């Protein structure tokens, strides 16, 4: 249940981060594909491959999110309230991803991973 709740928090924060179209499409595609693999990992409880792909995808999106936020952060004179909110949600989502990675790793260990 905790993994599902963390997943919904991830969806809401990621959705708010994409709200302003400030980041390129690769930001949305990367995170939505990891979300799809995460749903697959939750549904197939006996698959180690699904949970390992989800963990790998989460770790990869941490790196790409850092790159996206640092490259596409707008200058202060173009920073509206909407953009500030979107960047804040993207950063908050990025800060919660290590917690998600830890919980997914625990799930991997529970399923018999080494």
Q: Pull the structure tokens for residue 93.
A: 């989502």
Note whether 11 and 35 are within 8 A (CB): yes
Domain of 73, in residue numbers:
46-113
Q: From CA 10, how far away is CA 95, in angstroms rounded?
A: 10
Domain check: are 72 and 105 in the same one?
yes
Note whether 17 and 23 are within 8 A (CB): yes
Domain check: are 24 and 72 in the same one?
no
pLDDT in tens, the chain (114 residues): 455 555 556 666 656 556 667 788 788 888 888 888 988 888 888 889 999 999 999 999 999 999 998 998 888 787 888 788 778 888 888 998 898 899 889 888 888 877
Number of domains the chain contains: 2
Q: Tally Cβ neighbours within 10 Å of residue 5.
A: 10
Domain check: are 53 and 107 in the same one?
yes
What is the model's pTM? 0.78
Whose CA is closest to 14, among 80, 84, 96? 96
């Amino acid at each position: 249940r905790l993994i599902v709740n963390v997943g919904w928090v991830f969806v809401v924060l990621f959705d708010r981060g994409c709200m302003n179209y400030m980041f390129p499409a690769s930001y949305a595609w990367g995170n939505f594909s990891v979300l799809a693999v995460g749903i697959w990992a939750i549904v197939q409880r006996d698959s180690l491959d699904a949970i390992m792909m989800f963990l790998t995808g989460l770790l990869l999106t941490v790196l790409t999110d850092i790159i996206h936020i640092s490259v596409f952060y707008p200058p202060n004179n173009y920073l509206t309230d909407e953009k500030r909110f979107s960047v804040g949600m993207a950063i908050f989502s990025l800060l919660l991803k290590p917690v998600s990675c830890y919980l997914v790793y625990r799930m991997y260990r529970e399923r018999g991973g080494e």
